[in-house]
Amino acid sequence: MASEKNEQKMEKEVSFADSESSSEKEAPRDFIISRAHSFKRDEHPAHPFVGFTMWSFMLWIWYQVWGVWCIPISSYFVYLVLLIPPWITGKSEQQIRKQEEVSAFIYILATACTVPVLCYWCLFRAPTAITMAFLCYVGWFLLLDSKAPKSGKRKFDVIRRRRQWYNFARYFPISLSRTAELDPTKNYIFGYHPHGIISTGALCNFGAEATGFSTLFPGIDLRLLTLAVNFYVPFLREYFLALGVNDVSRESCITNLRRGPGASIMIVVGGAAEALEARPNEYDLTISTKRKGFVKIALQEGASMVPVFSFGEVDVFNQWANPEGSKLRRFQKWSTSIFGISPPIVVGRALKSGVLKRWFGWNWGIMPLRMPVHSVVGAPIDCPKIAPDADEKTLSEAIDKYHALYLEELKKVYEDHKESFKDLRKEYVEQQEPDLQEILKLGKEGSFKVKGL
CB-neighbour burial class of residue 318 (10 A; exposed 0-12, middle 13-18, buried 19+): buried
Q: Tell me the residue ranges of DSSP E strands in 23-136.
A: 32-33
Specify the pairing of strand 447-451 against strand 318-319.
unpaired
Helix H or strand E encompassing 30:
none
Do residues 291 and 301 lie in contact, with contact meaning Cβ atoms separated by under 8 Å?
Answer: no
Q: Which of 218, 120, 212 is nearest to 166 (CA)?
A: 212
The pLDDT score that the predictor gives to residue 15 is 30
Residue 319: count of CB within 10 angstroms of its CB: 20
| 25 Cβ neighbours under 8 A, 6+ residues apart | none
Do residues 297 and 257 lie in contact, with contact meaning Cβ atoms separated by under 8 Å?
Answer: yes
| 242 Cβ neighbours under 8 A, 6+ residues apart | 154, 155, 156, 159, 160
| 224 Cβ neighbours under 8 A, 6+ residues apart | 202, 203, 206, 207, 243, 244, 245, 246, 265, 266
Alpha-carbon distance of 257 to 240, in angstroms, equals: 19
**CA separation (Å) from 270 to 59, 196, 354, 409?**
37, 9, 34, 17
| 149 Cβ neighbours under 8 A, 6+ residues apart | 228, 231, 237, 240, 241, 246, 247, 252
In tens digits, what is the pLDDT along the chain, a chain of 453 residues?
444 444 444 444 433 333 333 333 333 333 333 433 444 544 555 556 666 787 788 888 888 888 888 888 777 777 666 655 544 555 566 666 676 777 777 778 888 888 999 999 999 999 999 999 999 999 999 999 999 999 999 999 988 988 888 888 888 889 999 999 999 999 999 999 999 888 999 999 999 998 989 999 999 999 999 999 899 999 999 999 999 999 999 999 999 999 999 999 999 998 877 888 888 888 888 776 567 889 999 999 999 999 999 999 999 988 888 888 888 888 888 888 777 777 888 888 887 767 777 777 777 778 888 899 999 999 999 999 988 888 888 888 999 999 999 999 999 999 999 888 888 888 888 888 777 777 787 655 556 666 544
- Residues β-bridged to residue 451: 286
Do residues 374 and 311 lie in contact, with contact meaning Cβ atoms separated by under 8 Å?
Answer: yes
| 48 Cβ neighbours under 8 A, 6+ residues apart | none
Total-model pTM: 0.84
Alpha-carbon distance of 408 to 413, in angstroms, equals: 9
Which one-letter DSSP state was computed for residue 144?
I
Alpha-carbon distance of 409 to 437, in angstroms, equals: 32
The pLDDT score that the predictor gives to residue 442 is 60
Give long-range contacts, CB 8 A cutoff, 24+ apart: 403-408.
Answer: 403/292, 403/295, 405/381, 406/191, 406/295, 406/305, 406/307, 406/381, 407/287, 407/450, 407/453
25: left (phi over 0), alpha (psi -120 to 50) or beta: alpha
**CA separation (Å) from 119 to 62, 125, 129?**
11, 10, 14
- Residues β-bridged to residue 348: 365
Alpha-carbon distance of 350 to 359, in angstroms, equals: 11
The predicted-structure confidence for 18-62, as pLDDT tens digits, reads as follows 333 333 333 333 333 343 344 454 455 555 666 678 778 888 888
Alpha-carbon distance of 17 to 40, in angstroms, equals: 12
| 213 Cβ neighbours under 8 A, 6+ residues apart | 176, 205, 206, 220, 222
The H-assigned helical ranges of 19-47 are 20-26
For the CA atoms of 109, 113, 115, 119, the dihedral, rounded to the nearest 10 degrees, stands at 180
Q: Which of 232, 268, 236 is nearest to 253 (CA)?
A: 268
Q: Which of 334, 317, 329, 415 is nearest to 370 (CA)?
A: 317
The predicted-structure confidence for 383-421, as pLDDT tens digits, reads as follows 999 888 888 888 889 999 999 999 999 999 999 998 888
**Terminal-to-terminal C-alpha distance of the chain:** 45
Which one-letter DSSP state was computed for residue 379?
-
The Cα angle at residue 166 between residues 162 and 172, in degrees rounded to 5: 145
Peptide bond between residue 28 and the one before it cis (omega within 30 degrees of 0) = no
Residue 168: count of CB within 10 angstroms of its CB: 25
